Amino acid sequence: MKLGEIIKIVEGLLITENADLNTEIHCACGADLMSDVLTHTRTGALLLTGLTNPQAVRTAEVADIAAIVFVRGKKPPPETVSLAREKGIPLVAAPYTMFELCGRLYRAGMLSCDL
Amino acid sequence: MVENKETPTPSAAASGITKVQELIYELKIKQVMTSPVLTVTPETRMAQLKELLRTRKISGAPVLDQGKLVGIVSIEDLIKSLLDGKADLPVSERMTGRIITVQEEESVVEAIRKFAEYGVGRLPVVDARGQLAGILTGSDITRGLLNAIGLHHHEDEIQRYRASHIFEDIQSEDTSLILRYRIKACDFDCGGEASSKIRRALKRLGANPQVIRRVGIATYEAEMNIIIHTTHGGEIQTEIQPHRVQIIATDQGPGIEDVRRALEPGYSTAPEWIRELGFGAGMGLVNIGKCSDEMKLGSTPGVGTRLEIVIFLQSNNSQSAQTQGDPVAEKKAEGGER
């Protein structure tokens, strides 16, 4: 699924400029604890999280995550955004809850990361 | 504005523009000017100038009177005199006496400024003694920049090649590259920087992406453990050898009370406020175990902790995470026994 499609499905707002909306993302992972993310994500995954501190971006970099969607409409602070720009990781803010967003993506055919 | 980062830039075009801006300040005029320069004397006739400009495909020439720069005559001057029907005039009648020059040791940005300020088409270039050394036009600058960018790309490629062959180029019984990072306790802002730098180093050395990922995750978790749990911080030492990477994370306290329990998935001794930052899942050491081929954890409460991780680089040596046996835990009995 392309990043552009994902942003439409989650009704999200792209926070970082210059993101490649054609990036192919193959699976998604929803987590608020960073070590959970590192446990079983595959390369090029989408991360849905409520955690907006810069460590979310650090974890994403280490886990080769393709993009981050912040749930419940949370807007990340400037430190997080500038770190994401530096690392080239697109950030999206989406208005719905984690459960709702995961459900929407799952229904649209997005795969789970541990499969 | 030097770009030394190995992080992927948004686009190749963007980094190209930055390079050009750098080069405009770095390149000296003498590196891009045309030299030797074709000159005329004050007595040269316009008709001769016409032939010179036509055959040599240039747009103007400095006028030298016995070696001294006295003016400059351009194709515009030539056209004007042809329109006036005066092909036989000496160039001294039409040349511009007020000459704007640049020094050969100045940077290209100076020439660009002068082109903008005076609206001239060409700038004679003089040396430190004021002697004519060359001539500079806009196209000379463009050509010089393009050549320089071409060279830079070539150099970048050479550097990348060299770095990835460093273990072949340097001969010894056993070569290793050791990277050391000091980690400060509670320094969340910098959390992840050491692992990021280690990943970058491995990329430069041409390591397999899977290895880079595993080293990255293991080091990140070790780094965050030092930040979250220690009182005085610690150190991460990464030793890179041709066949393996060894990571040693050490700290000076408070130590792990129960190492066996610490290795259990989900068990965490992190305080509550850590969970608000997204940590304390209790999966750190488990993740490290999954990523590494060998793991040794030892700790003495009140003294410190030492975590050793080994990841093999050749794919036939490295076992996949799940098939590896449980990480070995050692308990140093110095301080007390449970």
Within a domain: B123: yes
Q: In three state form, how does the secondary structure of B102-159 look?
A: EECCCEHHHHHHHHHHHCCCEEEEECCCCCEEEEEEHHHHHHHHHHHHHHHHHHHHHH
Contact B278 A33 (CB under 8 A): yes
Contact A62 B199 (CB under 8 A): yes
Residue-level pLDDT at B327: 36
**Contacts with B195 from chain A: Cβ below 8 Å:** 58, 62
Residue-level pLDDT at B182: 94
The whole domain housing B114 covers 12-143
pLDDT-derived band at B318, boundaries 50, 70, 90: very low
Q: What is the ipTM of this complex?
A: 0.74
Residue B314 has pLDDT above 70, yes or no: no
pLDDT-derived band at B208, boundaries 50, 70, 90: confident
My answer on whether B182 and B138 are in the same domain is no
Residue-level pLDDT at B223: 93
Residue B167 parent element (H or E): helix B166-169
Residue A11 has pLDDT above 90, yes or no: yes
> The CATH number of the domain where B306 resides is what?
3.30.565.10
Please give the residue that has the higher pLDDT: either A49 or B19: A49
pLDDT-derived band at A109, boundaries 50, 70, 90: very high
Which amino acid appears at position B189 of this protein? D
The tally of domains found in chain B comes to 2
Contact A36 B284 (CB under 8 A): no
- DSSP-derived letter for residue B90 is B
- pTM for the full predicted model: 0.57
B234 near B250, Cβ under 8 Å? yes
Range name among A97-111, B10-24, B64-78, B83-97 with the lowest pLDDT average? B10-24
The alpha carbon of residue A30 is apart from the nearest alpha carbon of chain B, in Å, by 13
Within a domain: B150: no
Chains A & B: contacts with CB separation below 8 Å: 81
> The CATH number of the domain where B123 resides is what?
3.10.580.10
Residue B23 has pLDDT above 90, yes or no: no
The alpha carbon of residue A77 is apart from the nearest alpha carbon of chain B, in Å, by 13
Residue-level pLDDT at B320: 40
Instruction: Indicate the residue of B192, B213, B216 with minimum beta-carbon distance to A55.
Output: B192
Nearby residues of B212 by Cβ (< 8 Å), 6 or more positions away: B199, B202, B203
**Contacts with A59 from chain B: Cβ below 8 Å:** 192, 220, 278
Q: Would an 8 Å CB–CB cutoff place B189 in contact with chain A?
A: yes
Averaged pLDDT, B12-37: 78
Residue A6 parent element (H or E): helix A3-9
**φ, ψ of residue B177 in degrees (nearest 5):** -110, 120
Instruction: Indicate the residue of A35, A49, A56 with minimum beta-carbon distance to B281.
Output: A35
- Our CA dihedral for B1, B6, B12, B14, rounded to 10 degrees, sits at -30
Averaged pLDDT, B266-281: 80
My answer on whether B311 and B219 are in the same domain is yes
Express each pLDDT in A54-69 by its tens digit: 989 999 999 999 999 9
E strand segments, B39-121 = 60-65, 68-74, 102-103
My answer on whether B310 and B187 are in the same domain is yes
Compute the C-alpha angle B194/B195/B199, nearest 5°. Answer: 120
Residue-level pLDDT at B16: 56
Residue A5 has pLDDT above 90, yes or no: yes
B199 near A62, Cβ under 8 Å? yes
Contact A55 B188 (CB under 8 A): yes
Q: Would an 8 Å CB–CB cutoff place B315 in contact with chain A?
A: no
Mean model confidence pLDDT for chain B: 82
Candidates B244, B236, B240; CA nearest to B219 is B236
**A3-112: CATH topology:** 3.40.1390
Longest Cα pair distance anywhere in chain B, in angstroms? Answer: 110
Residue-level pLDDT at B158: 65
Q: Would an 8 Å CB–CB cutoff place B281 in contact with chain A?
A: yes
Distance CA A66, CA B263 (A): 30
Which amino acid appears at position B64 of this protein? L
Distance CA B178, CA B195 (A): 14
Residue B107 has pLDDT above 70, yes or no: yes
